[in-house]
Amino acid sequence: MPLTTIGPRALEIRGVEKSFKKRRQEPVRALRGIDLTIDKGEVVGILGPNGSGKSTLVRVISTLITPDAGTVDVFGIDALHHPKTVQKMMNRVSVEASFFKKLSARENLLYGSKLYGLTSAEASPRITEILEGIGFRMKRAGEPMENLSRGMQQKIALARALLTSPMLLLLDEPTTGLDPRSKKDVQAVIWDIRRRHDASILLCTHDMGEAEELCDRIGIMVDGELIAIDTADGLKRKYQSGPELPTLEDVFMAATGTTLEEASMEEEEKELVTA
């Protein structure tokens, strides 16, 4: 991780606020005064329970949601005023794979890369290369996406993002809901991206182990607020009470007063009540 970077940071967010109005209800404050930076080549994780605002943050960065207040700069460019320039520099993988289900992996990837200005001739060899790299058997490249496993779909979503050579990669719970094996597979692909492509990454997750293993710094997000952000060791030292360093679970507990599972359960119950 570069401590001093030349030029602008990969991501610089200042004072971002977002509320959603709901019919006949209090508005939901999904993001409250978020400040966050990611250096070039850095991987920053956001740990937070369901409904804490992680996806909203990712959507604000990817220009899908306009914040009520605050600034978002991607490689020094104001994302709110120059969305086009910023859109070219990033891509995203979310919890749902989000493909045309009847189209094949190859067709979906050709489409995805054309949106970013790559012709079929340019994209084709790279599609083959990237798909082979993630262990996809090319003889399935013509099969509809819906026939592939969730884990494989998620890896293809990573391939789609890689194809457009993003300088900033937004990963919003890429492994949530996968079986343990596929989860390891997808994490291995992310690890590989981190090692080879030198992209700057924002990784939102529920998974403590994933955050600790893949991220240079980890932020803890609760109710739209980023209450702490540091290296895993830094967080542990900050919340250390006894002679031994606590685990990340303990840190989360100390910082939020609850475990990640409990906080997620509560939020799910809230959603059920309001739904």
Partner 1 sequence: MSELAHAPRAERPRWLLELIAAWGFAQRNFFLTKRYFLWEVVWLAYATVSAMSIGFIGVDVDRGGVDGARLTTFLLIGSILWGYLSMIFDLLSETVSWERWEGTIEYTFMSPASRATQLLGTSIYAIAYGVARTALIFGIVSLFFDMDLSNANYFSALVILVLCSISLVGLGMVAAVMPLLSPEKGQQVSSIFTAVLLLVSGVYYSVSVLPGWMQAIAKFSPITYALEGMRAALLDGATLNETWPSIWPLLIMGAILVPGGLLIFRAGERYAKRTGLLKRSG
Ligand X SMILES: Nc1ncnc2c1ncn2[C@@H]1O[C@H](COP(=O)(O)OP(=O)(O)OP(=O)(O)O)[C@@H](O)[C@H]1O
Nearer to ligand X by Cβ, of 192 and 266: the residue is 266
Nearer to ligand X by Cβ, of 50 and 164: the residue is 50
Nearer to ligand X by Cβ, of 32 and 126: the residue is 32
Which token pair is 196? 């080879």
b/e burial code for range 114-128 (CB count within 10 A of at least 16 → b): eeeebeeeebeebbe
Instruction: Give the distance, in angstroms, between the CA of residue 85 and the centroid of all CA atoms in the same chain.
Output: 20
54 binds ligand X (CB under 6 A): yes
165 binds, among partner 1, Mg ion, ligand X, none (CB under 5 to 8 A by kind): partner 1
Nearer to Mg ion by Cβ, of 54 and 236: the residue is 54
**Cβ 116 to ligand X, closest distance in Å?**
25
**Cβ 183 to partner 1, closest distance in Å?**
21
Binding-site size, ligand X (CB under 6 A): 11
Nearer to ligand X by Cβ, of 53 and 67: the residue is 53
100 binds, among ligand X, Mg ion, partner 1, none (CB under 5 to 8 A by kind): partner 1
The alpha carbon dihedral of 201, 206, 212, 214 has a sign of negative
Nearer to Mg ion by Cβ, of 54 and 155: the residue is 54
**Cβ 215 to partner 1, closest distance in Å?**
19
Burial class (CB in 10 A: 0-12, 13-18, 19+), 21: exposed
**Cβ 36 to partner 1, closest distance in Å?**
19
> What's phi and psi for 13, nearest 5 deg?
-115, 130
**Cβ 271 to ligand X, closest distance in Å?**
7
The DSSP letter of residue 275 is -
Nearer to partner 1 by Cβ, of 102 and 238: the residue is 102
Length of the chain: 275
Please provide the DSSP assignment of 200-262 as one string.
EEEEEES-HHHHHHH-SEEEEEETTEEEEEE-HHHHHHHT--SSSPPPHHHHHHHHHSS-HHH
Which token pair is 90? 């990033």
Listed in sequence order, the residues at least 6 apart from 101 whose beta carbon sits closer than 8 Å to its beta carbon are 144, 145, 146
Query: Which residues in the 10-39 window bind ligand X by CB under 6 A?
Result: 20, 28, 30
181 binds, among ligand X, partner 1, Mg ion, none (CB under 5 to 8 A by kind): none
Q: What's the rounded Cα separation, in Å, for the pair 106 and 120?
A: 10
50 binds, among partner 1, ligand X, Mg ion, none (CB under 5 to 8 A by kind): ligand X
Query: Which residues in the 110-129 window bind ligand X by CB under 6 A?
Result: none
Binding residues (CB under 6 A) for ligand X: these are 20, 28, 30, 48, 50-56
